Amino acid sequence: MRVLAVLMVAVLCGMATAGRTKRYFFVNPDAPITLGFLLNMPISLALPTLAPVGGRSLQLYNLVEEEDDRPEELLWDSAYEQQLNRLIAYFAHLELPSLSCQERLLCELASTPESFSPIGQIFMKELRLLHGPVTTTADSLIWRYMSAAREGFASPLEVCATAYPNCPLAAERILNMPVLKVWQYISSKLNLQLV
């Protein structure tokens, strides 16, 4: 890439100095060249690998209290409907239907982002305020998700368990941690970034 840029500059300088003395450029063939590649992978391929095996979703229904709110019962802010749909799809891939467990997961992902990278980045990018203000009530689903992430940003990991006592599952039990470690290794070797 650098060589191409240097050659283009040389050609342009040669055209601009047509009647003047010529200047010569030296290109070092031993200089390192950095190449970048874009890998586009659907999230529907990565997220199911992080869901624990063993029928956890059936066990979760027995552990979570019946009084727990369901995401589909809350107010969906129309400006953030796309982000909410993606978040609900992510939680479905992780077999996590309970709102309190979703909130606890978001809290823990925000509390220690380096421990849960790159999955934490996937969730946190959906919680950006890109489409204006949100309704700040407990009935607003996007507000509940953002509040959970804000709680995690401001607190250590242990606070998330007390902030969301209706969910008995920590993020380490919700996510398949050995597979996450593989994703982290791949991410470190390939300099993987989520945009």
Does residue 124 or residue 183 have the better pLDDT? 124
Beta bridge partners of 140: 75
Identify the pLDDT of residue 189: 78
Q: Please report which confidence band the pLDDT of residue 48 belongs to, taking 50, 70 and 90 as the band edges.
A: low
Instruction: Please state the domain count of the chain.
Output: 2
Q: Which residue has the tokens 């030296």?
A: 26
Q: Which distant-in-sequence residues (6+ apart) come within 8 Å of 117 by Cβ?
A: 184, 187
Identify the pLDDT of residue 193: 59
Cα separation, 89 vs 103, in Å, equals 15
Identify the pLDDT of residue 183: 81
Contact 142, 86 (CB under 8 A): no
The CB density around residue 81, as the number of other CB atoms within 10 Å, is: 13
**Phi, psi torsion values for 159, nearest 5 degrees:** -70, -30
Identify the pLDDT of residue 105: 94
Q: Is 3 helix (H, G, I), strand (E, B) or coil?
A: helix
154 is a domain residue: yes
195 is a domain residue: no
Identify the pLDDT of residue 58: 44
Beta bridge partners of 75: 140
Q: What is the pLDDT of residues 69-90, one digit of tens each?
A: 777 778 888 888 899 999 998 8
Whether residues 61 and 13 share a domain: the answer is: no
Cis peptide, bond prior to residue 118, ω within 30 of zero: yes
Q: Extract the tokens encoding 1.
A: 């890439």
**What range defines the domain where residue 64 resides?**
43-190
Q: What is the pLDDT of residues 125-154, one digit of tens each?
A: 888 877 777 777 888 888 899 999 999 999
Cα separation, 162 vs 111, in Å, equals 14
101 is a domain residue: yes
Whether residues 96 and 165 share a domain: the answer is: yes
Cα separation, 135 vs 76, in Å, equals 9
Does residue 190 or residue 160 have the better pLDDT? 160
In terms of DSSP H, where are the helices of 77-130? 81-93, 99-111, 119-124
Whether residues 52 and 133 share a domain: the answer is: yes
Q: What is the pLDDT of residues 8-30, one digit of tens each?
A: 555 555 555 555 666 666 677 77
Q: What is the pLDDT of residues 148-177, one digit of tens each?
A: 999 999 988 889 999 999 888 898 888 888
